[in-house]
Amino acid sequence: MLWGGRFSKSFDKAALKFSSSLASDILLFDEDIDASIAHAEMLMKVNLISNDELNLISDGLNQIRNEFHNGLWLPDADKFEDIHSAIESKLFELIGETAGKLHTGRSRNDQVATDERLWIKKYSLKLISMLNNFQKVLVELAESNIHTIIPGYTHLQRAQPVSLAFHFLAYVEMAERDKSRFGFVIEEADQCPLGSGALAGSTLPLDRFFVSSKLNFREPTRNALDSVSDRDYILDFLNSCSLGMMHLSKLADELILWNTEEWSFIRLPEEFTTGSSLMPQKKNPDILELIRGKSAKVISNYVQLITTLKSLPLSYNRDYQEDKQSMFDSYFTYSESLNLMIKILAGLEVNKNKFVAEMSKSFLLATDIADWLVLKQVPFREAHKIVGQLVKYCEERKISFTELTLSDLKNVSESFDKNVISYFDIETSIRRKKTYGSPNPDFVAEQINFWKNNL
C-alpha cells in the first residue's frame, strides 16, 4: 500500500478485492513506466534527486518493463490496488529505499491522468490508421461499382436510383468524420497533468514544462484542480468510439440484408460466416450481427461514464476509477469490429446486375419526370401532382413507366411530349444528375480519385 502510515489496521481483503483496478489499469503499464522515467528525470533536473539516483530509478523501471513484457513478472491483484502501486513496490524490491524518492511531488491523481492521456493519444492514432484502411477498401469497392445501379431508400421505401459506388462513398465520408473526432480527442488529451499533485500543485520546484516536453505533450495543463478531475477527453474518446461503432452497425445491417436470398445482392466471404447446429444449409452472417450487437455495449460505455461523472464534486473521487474499463472495452470492441469489417468488405462479391431489370418496372424515376416537367416551365408543385397522377394511372393498369405510350402520357397531362420517354431509362438516369455530390458517375469518379489521392 502507498498510503498506510496513518492507519492502525490493515485494509480489509474483501475491500481490496472490491476496490482494485489492477485487472484493467494494467493496460496502462507502459504509459506508467514512461511517465515515471520522465518524472525522475525532472526531479534530477531540479536537484531533488542525484544523477546516480536517477540512473538507479530509470534502470530499475526499465528492468521492470523488460520482466513484464517477457513474462517474468506479473503483479498480483490480491496485493495491489492498481498498476501504479504494483510498479512502485517492484521498484523497491529491485533498488531499495531510493525507490521512495520517485513519488516526490506527484500523486496517483495526476499520475493516472497522465497515463490515461498518453494511452488515449496513442490508441486514437491507431484507430485513425485503421479508419484509413477502412476507407481504402470502401474506395476500392466503389471504383469497381461506379456503374452498379441500386435503389436508394428513404423510410426503407425505394426512392431514387443511385450507384453502389455512391452508397459506399457515403461510408467513406462517415469514416472521415470519425477520423476528425479522434483527431480532436488527441488534441484535447495533449496536455500533461503531471506535477498537479493531488489537486493543488506542489511547494517543490517541479518543472512541469520539462516533463510535458519529455512525454511529447503540447503543454502542461493550466489548472491543477481541473487536471486531476478532468475526464472530458475520455468521454470524447468514448463518444468517438460510439459514433464509429454506430456507423459500422449501419453498414453491417445493410450487408446482412443484401446477403439474404430475398435480396441476393452480395455474397459474404465464407470465412466470416457460420453454420447452424441443426440446419445444414445455413450460412449465417454472425460476425456482422455481432458487430451490430456490440455497438450497444460501446454506446453504453459512454453513458456509464458520463452518468458516473455528472454529480462528482471537484476534485478527485474514487468513482473516477470506473473510467478505465469503459475506455479499454470501447477501444478493443471498436478496433476488432473495424478490423473484421475491413476483411469482410475485402472479400465481398457483388451481383452487379441484380436490380436493373426490376427497377425498370418501378416508379423510381418519378422525381426525374417531375424535373423534366419543371424544365418545360411547369411549376414544381403542379409537376409533382401530375407525376403522382401518372403513377396512379400506371398502378390502375398494372403497367410500369417503360410501358407507357405517348397517348397514355397525354391522357394524364398535355404537358408531356415524346421527349420524356428517354427519361424512363434507369441506366442513364443517374447520368442526368447535375449537382455536385450526386451519384452522377463522373462526379463519383472524381470523388474516388480525391480519396485515392488523399488517403
Relative orientation angle of helices 164-189 and 441-454, to the nearest 10 degrees = 30
Catalytic annotation on 155? yes
Q: How far apart are CA 319 and CA 317, in angstroms?
A: 5
CA nearest to 310, candidates 214, 235, 411: 235
Q: How far apart are CA 420 and CA 427, in angstroms?
A: 15
Contacts of 24 (CB under 8 A, 6+ apart): 324, 325, 328
Contacts of 84 (CB under 8 A, 6+ apart): 2, 25, 32, 108, 111, 112, 115
Catalytic annotation on 39? no
Q: How far apart are CA 454 and CA 441, in angstroms?
A: 20
Decide: 72 and 87 in contact? Cβ < 8 Å. no
Question: Of 10, 155, 277, 407, which is the active-site residue?
Answer: 155
Cα angle value 328/334/337 (rounded, 5°): 135
Question: Of 19, 180, 264, 276, which is the active-site residue?
Answer: 276
Cα angle value 81/82/84 (rounded, 5°): 125
What is the set of active-site residues?
Answer: 155, 276
